[in-house]
Amino acid sequence: MENSMCKIAKNLRFKRLSAMSLWVAVLALTVSCAKKIEKIDNYEVLELPVDGQIRDLLLEGDSLWIVGGNHGSPFFLNYHISRGEFRIIDVGDFPDIYSISRNGDGFYLGLETSDLLIVDGNLNVIPHYTEEKYWINQQHKQPLRDAVVADSLHIFVGGGDLRFGVIRKGLEDVQFVQSEYMNDLRGIAQNDKWMYVVGNGIILRSGDNGETWERRETTPAFYTSMIFDETGRFGYMCTFNGDIYSSDDYGQSWDRSAKARKFFRDGFFLERMAYTDLAVGHNGSVALWSGDEWQFEMLDVEDDFYDAAKFGNRTYFGGSGRLIVTTN
């Protein structure tokens, strides 16, 4: 049912109005008929045993792996959800960690310097690059923000200065090679047909597991993350400015399905499609799929979210030195 202000504003179009009256009527209609967006203030806080921004989360069963850092204070943690216990794996003397991905019995940790750490099955953390010939030029080092595994290849993407990005592709000899692009790359996703990389004004597609890449025509935007559902047909992509794009043809074409700027004048930014129905970003920004439409909300916190994980009826948002937990 429309509220009385909406009815008044709409009825005004049948009357003769002065320029000022018309402007007031349109303003009233916009303010009162738009979907109301309220901050969420019902949440729980789990303080980390270390300080720093959470950059990535990896949920395996009821075990939540957490990585991040803050200007040279990196951390690699585990949170056992059922027991409610944190465990510090390493807070070593290395650059901040931006991504975590499974590597057999261990992990790869993507660093802010385009380099990697290897975590073995005993959770020992060691540098991956020991030979200078595999290093990236100092001027081109960027955070490795996301990764996928495809046919035993590990592929990372990174970027950070709005102008330069890198794709690191693992080879059979366990070394990595890089492909460099003059665009800030942020996310990588794949389905049964293609692999995609997104970034600042760019979408790249590969049909040969990252061996070669082609640039796709797209609407200019700062794309930060992409994800596909289990079928691979339906894809979702978010932008830094808070838009959500969707695809129903395996990522060949994309349509904007929601625009956060319709509701927020500033402060709403999206960094990660954590799930096909959840995107997160700066200043507590959250986009949720309700089943009919995308809803934009902001948790009443100042934390920036770079990832989130769902367990049962709870959602864990990675904040600054803490996990923010909401219950459905």
Overall average pLDDT of the 150-163 stretch: 86
Which pLDDT belongs to residue 294? Answer: 93
Q: Structurally, what CATH architecture does the domain formed by 38-327 represent?
A: 7 Propeller (2.130)
- Is 144 within 8 Å of 157 (Cβ atoms)? yes
Over 70: is that where the pLDDT of 324 sits?
yes
Overall average pLDDT of the 256-274 stretch: 83
Distance (Å, whole) CA 159 – CA 135: 16
Which pLDDT belongs to residue 114? Answer: 86
Distance (Å, whole) CA 58 – CA 109: 11
- Is 114 within 8 Å of 158 (Cβ atoms)? yes
Distance (Å, whole) CA 87 – CA 266: 37
Which pLDDT belongs to residue 11? Answer: 38
User: Looking at per-residue confidence, does 8 or 249 come out higher?
Assistant: 249
Report which residue type is found at 269: F
Which pLDDT belongs to residue 262? Answer: 67
Which pLDDT belongs to residue 186? Answer: 96
pLDDT confidence bin for 248, thresholds 50/70/90: very high
Residues 6 or more apart whose Cβ sits within 8 Å of residue 43:
299, 300, 301, 324, 325, 326
Give the helix/strand (H/E) hosting 38.
none
Domain boundaries, the chain: 1-34, 38-327
Overall average pLDDT of the 248-277 stretch: 88
Residues 6 or more apart whose Cβ sits within 8 Å of residue 324:
43, 44, 45, 284, 299, 301, 303, 305, 316, 317
- Is 193 within 8 Å of 203 (Cβ atoms)? no
Task: Write down how long the chain is.
Answer: 328
pLDDT confidence bin for 134, thresholds 50/70/90: low
Over 90: is that where the pLDDT of 28 sits?
no
Residue 191, sorted as left (phi over 0), alpha (psi -120 to 50) or beta, turns out to be beta
Q: Which has the minimum average pLDDT: 5-9, 142-146, 318-322?
A: 5-9
Over 50: is that where the pLDDT of 32 sits?
no
**Model pLDDT for residues 208-243, shown as the tens digit of each residue:** 989 899 999 888 899 999 999 999 999 999 999 999
Distance (Å, whole) CA 328 – CA 323: 16
Single pTM value for the model: 0.85
**Model pLDDT for residues 80-100, shown as the tens digit of each residue:** 999 999 999 999 788 999 999
pLDDT confidence bin for 50, thresholds 50/70/90: very high
The most confident of the ranges 2-6, 50-54, 134-138 is 50-54
Give percent of the chain above pLDDT 90. Answer: 62
Question: Which residue, 220, 221, 145, is CA-closest to 189?
Answer: 145
β-pairing verdict for 243-247 and 235-239: antiparallel
Which pLDDT belongs to residue 100? Answer: 97
Residues 6 or more apart whose Cβ sits within 8 Å of residue 291:
none
Q: How would you list the strands of the sheet with 214-215, edge to edge? A: 185-190, 195-199, 202-206, 214-215
Cα–Cα distance list, 214 to 61, 204, 208 (Å): 36, 5, 11
Which pLDDT belongs to residue 142? Answer: 86
User: Looking at per-residue confidence, does 261 or 7 come out higher?
Assistant: 261
pLDDT confidence bin for 14, thresholds 50/70/90: very low
pLDDT confidence bin for 256, thresholds 50/70/90: very high
Overall average pLDDT of the 268-287 stretch: 95
